[in-house]
Amino acid sequence: MFITLEGIDGCGKSTLALNLKRKLELLGFKVFLTKEPGGSNLGKDIKKIILNKNISPITEFLLFAADREVHAKIIKQHLHKGEIVISDRFADSSIAYQGYGKGVDIDFINEVNNKVLGGLKPDVTFIIDIPIYIMQERLGDRSLDKIEQMSEQFFNKVRTGYILLSQDSRFYVINGTYSPREVLSQTLNILLTFDEIKKPALQYLDKIESTDPQKLFKLLEPHSDVIINRYTSAKSAFNKQPKQERK
């Protein structure tokens, strides 16, 4: 399964990516975590160019696309191994940032993306949505890169782009103003509606329940509704334990 995470800067994508990887691994899955740009050696070099050179929006997009072609091959390799792939940003970022944000023709972006991806498409995309003022609060006084320094008007356009993209059934919008724990829980609830996630996860938990109930307690935190509905009695017992015993 190929999962992508999208959203404006400061929305919490990277935190969710790490938390989701850890949680899925606890549920018995093999997970490959990657990102754009930087998911390939070429991508790391391209990121330096984009952040340090004065280039046009269309050149910026084409550089991202060059990285994406290499990145897509890496992702396919891991998918062929049966792993879950989580990417912190992917092709939709170009539509939102270079398309809606900077005015590059969206049909052109889609055409190039289709060429470089060779049929690769996410199975599900989570858009972590936050208001612009929350983004500004989170970025705070830290040293900002060139993209993070863009205007409020620019990020409003990008956010609007993501909202428009979310009308497609592949997308799910997550409220990024909540705590990382709650954002993870929302995301898991959605993922566990997919049989390719739900069935193996519940089979794994059934096995754990019969061999190591204490480990099951750990897997239920933070929980999803699907898991808790299946393991209500285990959750009840877990809640009665002193916190120091919840390991």
The enclosing domain of 81 has a CATH number of 3.40.50.300
By mean pLDDT, which of 66-70, 77-81, 96-100, 227-231 is the weakest?
A: 227-231
Strand stretches in the chain, DSSP E: 2-6, 31-35, 84-88, 124-129, 171-175
157 and 134 assigned to the same domain: yes
pLDDT of res. 43 = 75
Range of the domain at 93: 2-191
pLDDT of res. 227 = 65
Say how many domains are in the chain: 2
215 and 174 assigned to the same domain: no
pLDDT of res. 33 = 97
90 and 150 assigned to the same domain: yes
Q: What value does the mean pLDDT take over residues 155-183?
A: 95
pLDDT of res. 247 = 43
Beta-carbon contacts of 142 under 8 Å, excluding residues fewer than 6 positions away, are: none
Q: Which residue has the higher pLDDT, 142 or 108?
A: 108
118 and 235 assigned to the same domain: no
180 and 216 assigned to the same domain: no
38 and 139 assigned to the same domain: yes
Beta-carbon contacts of 239 under 8 Å, excluding residues fewer than 6 positions away, are: none
140 and 52 assigned to the same domain: yes
131 and 154 assigned to the same domain: yes
Which pTM was predicted?
Answer: 0.85
